[in-house]
Amino acid sequence: MAKKLLHFILFFLAGLIVLIGVSIYVFDEPVPKGTPGKEADLLALNMEKAINKEAWNKIHWITWTFAEDKVYVWDKYRQFLQVEWGGKRVVMNLTTKEGKAWQEGQSVSGNTERKYIKTAWENFCNDSFWFIAPAKAFDKGAKRELVHLPSGEQALKVTFYAGGVTPGDTYLWEFNASGFLPKSMKMWVKILPVGGLKSTWGSWETTSGAKIATNRSIGPLNIKVTDVSSGKSYLDCGLKVDPFKVLSR
């Protein structure tokens, strides 16, 4: 009986490996070739205008819930961050990557504190990119290229050579026919075995003048952004106290 079970497990794993290999072969796309220069930069600037990056830059405080399990409060001017997830809470300085951490309301220290702070920073790098990626085309280390699609439409390819957790990732923005608001983003990233995976961006909402896509879909998977609030102070975000007072103690 045990021998038959072992054979079944080995057969199942072999089939799974073959299925994954075939999927990668069928769905994997090469990174498209693009042309850097003024046309690519102009397309990126038009994308920024479509989401009103100028308004985004003026936002002092912003809070949102990402994928229904992580709640962020970001003081953009001071570069302070609070993240809450799974009973954990981290308050940190994004510049120094130092901060404080709690588990179920009890403060933690030592390796546990450092682990929570590191996790909060890594989650923020990923989730804030998904939150406001169209505003990051001119970040330090970003290279912009114009791509001509087979349909005749233009797309914007952006490769990030610095910053974040996985530098070197490439993204391809496609736009709505009526303007330069992004409709989808294809990805060539280290954490995914398949290149060219597409995420649609939709359900755009406005906060303090800046446009935020509140729904992203990758196949049947929906990644939602909810409870978006912003303003000049924590009060505008529905907070009763400044969560970052602990950083000055």
State the CATH number of the domain containing residue 83.
Answer: 2.50.20
Q: What is the pLDDT along the chain (249 residues), one digit of tens a residue?
A: 444 434 434 443 333 333 333 334 346 899 999 999 999 999 999 999 999 999 999 999 999 999 999 999 999 999 999 999 999 999 999 999 999 999 999 999 999 999 999 999 999 999 999 999 999 999 999 999 999 999 999 999 999 998 777 889 999 999 988 889 999 999 999 888 999 999 999 999 999 999 999 999 999 999 999 999 999 999 999 999 999 999 976
Neighbours of 62 (CB within 10 A): 24
**136 domain residue, yes or no:** yes
**21 domain residue, yes or no:** no
> Token pair for residue 231?
């303003």
- What pLDDT does 178 receive? 83
- What pLDDT does 90 receive? 98
**5 domain residue, yes or no:** no
- What pLDDT does 163 receive? 79
Q: Which single residue is written with the structure tokens 């590191």?
A: 118
**125 domain residue, yes or no:** yes
Kindly report the three-state secondary structure assignment for every residue of 204-246: EEEECCEEEEEEEEECCEEEEEEEEEEECCHHHHCCCCCCCHH
- What pLDDT does 109 receive? 97
**178 domain residue, yes or no:** yes
Number of domains in the chain: 1
**Do residues 204 and 225 lie in contact, with contact meaning Cβ atoms separated by under 8 Å?**
no
195-216 b/e with 16+ CB inside 10 Å = b?
bbbebbbeeeeebbebbbbbeb
**201 domain residue, yes or no:** yes
For residue 119, the enclosing domain spans 31-248
- What pLDDT does 192 receive? 86
- What pLDDT does 164 receive? 77
pLDDT in tens, 207-222: 999 999 999 999 999 9
Give the angle subtended at the CA of 22 by the CAs of 157 and 29, to the nearest 5°. 10
Nearest residue to 30 via CA among 195, 156, 149 = 195
- What pLDDT does 249 receive? 60
Q: Which single residue is written with the structure tokens 């038009």?
A: 46
> Token pair for residue 223?
């990644």
**23 domain residue, yes or no:** no
Distance CA 50, CA 247 (A): 36
**19 domain residue, yes or no:** no
